[in-house]
Amino acid sequence: MANVPEDLQYSKDHEWLRVEGDVAVIGITDYAQNSLGDVVYVELPKSGEKFEAHESFGSVESVKAVSEIFTPVSGEVLEVNESLADEPEKVNTDPYGAGWMIRMRMNNPGEVDSLLSAVEYEEFTSRETE
């Protein structure tokens, strides 16, 4: 069973989001990393780039697959997790911690309300698995 921490928000594209004031920390979920397999490369944007909600901001690669990653909310990238360049496996081993991908200043923190709660996301993934 995939780990779904209760204090986070989730998207149907399998990203998680942690709210810290008007800043959002974003990564991919345990469920997502598990279905991708061993992550070998993470392509991330540069600080200062701006994204609309649900826009692709990068990609995650395993040996034989590529998945785009999407911003659950709109905003400007403040920081990217540079350490993933050398240790992409952190996305597998600690998707909600050391495997975080970007910190973003949200344009409209209200967008968070449209995301899924842990319970809702768990329900969503169990339907997808069937």
Residue of 58, 82, 71, 9 whose CA lies nearest to 90? 82
In whole angstroms, give the CA distance from residue 33 to residue 45.
19
Residue (38 or 76) nearer to another protein, CB: 38
Asked if 19 and 109 touch (Cβ cutoff 8 Å), the reply is: yes
What is the C-alpha separation between 63 and 40, in angstroms, rounded? 7
Give which of 77, 71, 28, 79 is closest to 53, Cα–Cα. Answer: 71
Stretch that binds another protein, among 14-22, 57-65, 72-80, 100-108 (CB under 8 A): 57-65
Structure token digits, residue 105? 């200043």
With respect to another protein, which residue has the nearer C-beta, 11 or 67?
67
Q: How far is the CB of 61 from another protein (least distance, A)?
A: 5
- Based on the shown chain and the rule CB under 8 A, indicate whether residue 40 belongs to the binding site for another protein: yes
Q: Is 61 in the site for another protein (CB under 8 A)?
A: yes
**Element containing residue 92 per DSSP (H, E):** helix 90-93
Q: Residue 71 interacts with another protein (CB under 8 A)? A: no
| Residue from 18, 19, 41, 54 in contact with another protein (CB under 8 A) | 41
Q: Is residue 88 near another protein by the rule CB under 8 A?
A: yes
Residues that bind another protein (CB under 8 A): 37-38, 40-41, 61-66, 88-89
